[in-house]
Chain A
Amino acid sequence: MLVIGRKKGESILIGDDIEITVVKLDDGQVKLAISAPKEVLVLRKELYREVEEENMNAVAKNIDILKNIKR
């Protein structure tokens, strides 16, 4: 893993076509500008974790409840 220090306005490049720029620093929070090709997925990690959790919740051991739904 690369750990690197950057100041406001500085960037890092990943590969040929991804650029991440530090736009703003403010009391423990950093604002980044990410420029990447449209086919590249850029995602906040906590969203991925949330979907992971819901997917695990969707694994049902007992589906009898579905029989009781009135239509």
Chain B
Amino acid sequence: MILKLLSKYHGAINYEEKDIINFPAGIPGFEKLKKFIISGISGSPEFSILHSIEDTQVGLIITSPFIFKKDYEIDLPDYITSNLGIEKPEQVTIYTTVTLSSSIENITSNFSAPIIINEELKLGEQYIMDGGKYAVRYPLFKEGK
């Protein structure tokens, strides 16, 4: 059955029950929202919207950090693999949140807090890295690129 979400800022988004990703802990800033879907952005294949189906105003822009930093790597801590029931790497998809700006060079992504999703179990959690390996505001479009 096709369900429809009427996003306040991104129009109608169609999805199915099986597309819903559960975030049992919510995500920081939106702890009460537990159910999200991921919707593509037409004409911008590098970016998607992680949209709450419980609040029509909340859609976070996300990307895959690997597109912008080929050697991006994270070591998932035990509490994440255990919370998300992760048994093998193939189950995992990783996104990072994107902050847009009217000037392209100021578009950044939070590479230090990736959103980890177990695609098989449709479970997600944001992993806040400690130690400063990656920038909270990593510029996606550097000069001369």
| Interface residue ranges, A against B (CB under 8 Å) | 38-41, 43-44, 47-48, 50-63, 65-69
**Please, how many residues of chain B have a CB less than 8 angstroms from a CB on the other chain?**
39
Cβ contact within 8 Å between A58 and B98: yes
Known: A48-B28, A51-B110, A51-B126. A65 touches B136 (CB 8 A): no
* Choice from B29, B59, B79, B100 contacting A52 with Cβ under 8 Å: B29
Main secondary structure of the interface of B (DSSP, over half): loop
Known: A38-B77, A54-B113, A59-B59. A65 touches B100 (CB 8 A): yes
Q: B77 — which chain A residues lie within 8 A by C-beta?
A: 38, 41
19 further A-B contacts with Cβ under 8 Å, apart from A54-B110, A55-B29, are A38-B77, A47-B128, A47-B130, A51-B29, A51-B136, A54-B97, A54-B136, A55-B28, A55-B30, A55-B126, A57-B99, A58-B61, A58-B97, A59-B57, A60-B9, A63-B41, A63-B47, A65-B107, A68-B104
Q: A58 — which chain B residues lie within 8 A by C-beta?
A: 60-62, 97-99, 110
Number of A-B contacts (CB under 8 A): 91
CA of A66 to CA of B42 in the docked complex: distance in angstroms?
Answer: 10
Cβ contact within 8 Å between B61 and A60: yes
CA of A55 to CA of B28 in the docked complex: distance in angstroms?
Answer: 7
